[in-house]
Structure 1
Amino acid sequence: MTKMTAEEANAYLKRSFDKDTAHPPSEIILMEEGRAVVRLKADSTHLRPGGYISGPTQMSLVDTAAYFAVMTYTGLEPMTVTSNLNINFLRPCIGDVVIVDARVMKIGQALAVMDVDVRIEGAEKASSHAVVTYAIPRTPSGMT
């Protein structure tokens, strides 16, 4: 059972980051225990010459998906922070819609490690692959 739903995640993103946007460019489309999937309808701000989805856009989506994959175990913990993000760009990421799928490989008291794939919607092969580590804030003893 997940401790945070896609609806709750999208509401948090809207409250925190998309205040002036009627239709946020990315949305969490799935959250289940240990997994979060983000969907981005790309526009010109996400592109490089040739129609490639930019590396920074892909990294941002990877980070977002990994963050919310952790939240499926912890619930909303805003101070959970990226400790490491290693991405390999495997092939050109060209298309209108990007899907990013993050899965928790290991979660402990202090760290969580996620495996994340980036692909164009409908593509069989990933455009990039990342491994992301998040530091989870520790709750002082005796506090909830």
Structure 2
Amino acid sequence: MIVMDVAALQAFLARDFAQVAADFVVERAEADGLTLRLRVQERHLRPGGTVSGPAMFALADVAMYLAILSRIGPVALAVTTNCSMDFMRKPQARVDMRAEARLLKLGRSLAVGDVMLFSDGMAEPVARASLTYAIPPAR
């Protein structure tokens, strides 16, 4: 069940993570997952014009964070405890990227999920991430 919809998640980013909120657009938040877009800017690029690994990590991490919040509400202190990424192919040069996040397990204290990253104009994923988040106890 969705607790925070697209508008609520975008507002949360703007309020609590203003430093990066303009980089991301929440496109979909549903029970089966979340879609997040990275608006690629010059600062996200590595030499050669492709999106850098750190920018792709940020996209995967924010996508999973928001997928979790879409289900549990605005718990700002949920934190990444583990991430493993496989970079499978080079993204397109200077184009936006899309993350497709899905939760595999959502417990009281841990959430586990995966994220597939796509470069606009490419059908095959460019990277895959597996993430675990710690959820703070309810107060």
Give the TM-score taking structure 1 as reference length: 0.89
Q: Which amino acid aligns with 1:114?
A: G
Contact 1:34 1:72 in 2 (8 A): no
Query: Over aligned residue pairs, what C-alpha RMSD do you find?
Result: 1.7
Identity between Structure 1 and Structure 2 (%): 33
Match of 1:132 in 2: 131
**Residue deviations 1:62-102, cap 9 Å, x none?**
00000011112211111111010111100101241100111
Shift of residue 17 of structure 1? Answer: 2.5
Q: Residues of 1 paired with 2:107 and 2:8: CA distance?
A: 23
Partner SS, residue 51 of structure 1: coil
Match of 1:117 in 2: 116
Q: Residues of 2 paired with 1:44 and 1:139: CA distance?
A: 40
Match of 1:49 in 2: 47
Contact 1:34 1:70 in 2 (8 A): no
Bigger radius of gyration among the two: 1
Q: Which segments of 5 or more consecutive residues in structure 2 lack a partner in the other structure?
A: none
Contact 1:34 1:69 in 2 (8 A): no
Instruction: Return the match for 1:86 from 84, 87, 106.
Output: 84
Q: Which amino acid aligns with 1:10?
A: Q
Q: Residues of 2 paired with 1:24 and 1:122: CA distance?
A: 22
How many correspondences in the alignment? Answer: 138
Contact 1:102 1:114 in 2 (8 A): yes
Q: Which segments of 5 or more consecutive residues in structure 1 lack a partner in the other structure?
A: none
The range that moved more, 30-39 or 3-12, is 30-39
Match of 1:4 in 2: 4
**Residue deviations 1:124-144, cap 9 Å, x none?**
11100000000111125xxxx
Q: Residues of 2 paired with 1:97 and 1:68: CA distance?
A: 19
Contact 1:83 1:135 in 2 (8 A): yes
Give the TM-score taking structure 2 as reference length: 0.92
Shift of residue 16 of structure 1? Answer: 2.0
Match of 1:32 in 2: 30
Shift of residue 34 of structure 1? Answer: 4.4
Contact 1:101 1:118 in 2 (8 A): yes
Instruction: Return the match for 2:74 from 73, 76, 86.
Output: 76
The range that moved more, 30-39 or 51-60, is 30-39
Q: Residues of 2 paired with 1:43 and 1:138: CA distance?
A: 37
